[in-house]
Amino acid sequence: MADTMGNENTNIQESNEELPTDLDAISEEDKKKAEELKEEANLFFKNEDYTRAIDKYSEAIKLNPFVAAYYGNRSFAYLRTECFGYALSDASKALALDKNYLKAYYRRASANMALGKFKLALKDFEAVTKARPNDKDARMKYDECNKICKRLAFEKAIASDDGKCVADSIDINSLVIEASYDGPHLQDGKVTKEFVDDLLEAYKDQKKLPKKYVCQILIQAKKIFSQQESLVYIDVPNKSKFTICGDIHGQFYDLLNIFKMNGKPSEENPYLFNGDFVDRGSFSVECIMTLLSYKLLYPNHFFMARGNHESLTMNQMYGFEGEVKSKYSLQLCELFTEVFNWLPLAHCINKKILVMHGGLFSSDDVTLDDIAKTPRNRQPPENGIMCELLWSDPQPQNGRSPSKRGVGVQFGPDVTKRFLERNNLDYIVRSHEVKNEGYECMHDGKCITVFSAPNYCDSMGNKGAYINITGDNLKPKFTSYEAVPHPNVKPMAYANPFFGLF
């Protein structure tokens, strides 16, 4: 049981700082000190300590805000911490100072790529190729981005608009299970406890579930999710235990460790997994199929919420689509997308705890009823209730700020307080952010983050955590844990090859 709190997020961009407005007013001593800070930041960056690198770049910018490289370097560090909104802003500031600073075009393009804004990224790559027509690296990046834009345009053009879906078009009976298959079997097409137990062992040994069973599970899960509201109410009886987990991100062996520590899901041991089951980690298929199997086995005691990574654009960039194509087919990618589109957006426990993946809203007027009525059988939009539930983040200061991610909003303790009062809630639980201890309490304990993927991407060194509550005592109890070993398949192994270009 962890007994220390994570630190408040210090990764807030210095957007409101008083900076010098005249280069001539900056002393040579300050210029020299700024360069020293940049070198310190570069060393932190090299050692993958991106938070401290950002802090040092920010200090250099305070002393001398007229050096494009300071913003360009900080933009790169923001990219590594997934603060794509800040990365975009810094790259644009660098270009405002020096339109010939080509690295800034790359940084801005990378941030737009990460957000799925491929056409905007293409414009920046085009600018570099025009400035350096003989630069092979620039041309390669432009060509790769252009291929993605053309592929997406082609897929959109051929997409069917006749209302039919993949789930209805699959002929299950035509799918054959090889005679040599020695893994778990569905019973009359249904998930059983024996099946799930055997599935965990098979996945642990890196075995693959037949396509027929995957399709059957996905089609049945889609039906269950489509019958739920966007906001699901959960009743936890007195004395009964309930567990909330955050991001898993394809870290299957850490998921097994949660079940080892906290017990496997059952009617007596219910769970809520709060989004981002896939992407980044390279065992995403194993994670999502395990979770969906438990959903089918215990539909009223196992809950799953949509995260920002249960979306087509994120899956195309961060590995899940590549993994499904590698292990199965493009058709199954489309079927997963249909299931993800029906995942609930939030859960309310005992009418006192609201759980969503991202966070709160750009308006104080949102009610639980508004969330329940939010249409969700679609890709997440770039604004509105659904977007903000999946993408928003808390901030330490009051008020709201533009999102560090470039999507959603950042909200302060006053926003949380007003939302809770308006909806008669005790606190909110969200995920979406790496935390050193696997969890963090902000906003006077009223906004709790839980993140369940330890040593995220095999590089962050963070612990994972889960939350236990009981029906009669809704006070959260946190359990932190370290990462466990996994087979030698690196994170992002199936990610878009474009990431390897930077």
Express each pLDDT in 139-181 by its tens digit: 888 888 898 888 878 777 766 555 678 888 899 999 999 999 9
Residues 11-53: tens digit of each pLDDT: 445 444 566 677 778 899 999 999 999 999 999 999 988 999 9
Helices (H), 186-251: 193-204, 211-226
Last residue of a domain, which of 72, 92, 115?
Answer: 115
Name the stretches of the chain with pLDDT < 70: 1-20, 158-163, 498-502
Q: What is the CATH number of the domain that holds 286?
A: 3.60.21.10
Last residue of a domain, which of 86, 115, 144?
Answer: 115
Q: Are residues 93 and 214 in the same domain?
A: no
Cα(477)–Cα(121) distance, integer angstroms: 44
Angle between helical axes of 68-80 and 84-97 (0-180°, round to 10): 160
Cα(259)–Cα(464) distance, integer angstroms: 13
Q: Concatenated DSSP letters for 301-347?
A: TEEE---TTSSHHHHHHHSHHHHHHHHS-HHHHHHHHHHHHTS-SEE
Q: Are residues 495 and 400 in the same domain?
A: yes
Q: Are residues 57 and 188 in the same domain?
A: no
Q: Are residues 282 and 408 in the same domain?
A: yes
Last residue of a domain, which of 115, 137, 157?
Answer: 115
Q: Is residue 89 part of a domain?
A: yes
Q: Are residues 107 and 177 in the same domain?
A: no
Amino acid at the residue 331: Q
- Taking the alpha carbons at both ends of the chain, their separation in whole angstroms is 39
Per the listing, tokens 């770049």 go with 57
Q: Are residues 108 and 175 in the same domain?
A: no
Q: List all residues 6 or more positions away from 2 whose beta carbon is below 8 Å from its beta carbon.
A: 437, 438, 439, 463, 465, 478, 479, 480
Q: Is residue 72 part of a domain?
A: yes
Q: What is the CATH number of the domain that holds 35?
A: 1.25.40.10
Q: Are residues 84 and 232 in the same domain?
A: no
Would you state the pLDDT for residue 156? 72
Task: Report the catalytic residues.
Answer: 309
Q: Is residue 452 part of a domain?
A: yes
Q: Are residues 208 and 90 in the same domain?
A: no
Q: Is residue 129 part of a domain?
A: no
Q: Is residue 465 part of a domain?
A: yes
Q: Is residue 260 part of a domain?
A: yes
Q: Is residue 317 part of a domain?
A: yes
Q: What is the pTM of this model?
A: 0.90
Number of Cβ within 10 Å of residue 408's Cβ equals 27
Q: Are residues 53 and 174 in the same domain?
A: no
What's the domain count of the chain? Answer: 2
Q: Are residues 109 and 193 in the same domain?
A: no
Q: What is the CA radius of gyration of the chain?
A: 23
Give the DSSP letter of residue 237.
-
Cα(111)–Cα(56) distance, integer angstroms: 21
Q: Are residues 185 and 96 in the same domain?
A: no
3-state secondary structure of 388: helix
Would you state the pLDDT for residue 3? 29
Cα(192)–Cα(198) distance, integer angstroms: 10
Q: Is residue 122 part of a domain?
A: no
Would you state the pLDDT for residue 25? 84
Q: Which domain holds residue 366?
A: 166-501
Would you state the pLDDT for residue 52? 95
Amino acid at the residue 411: F
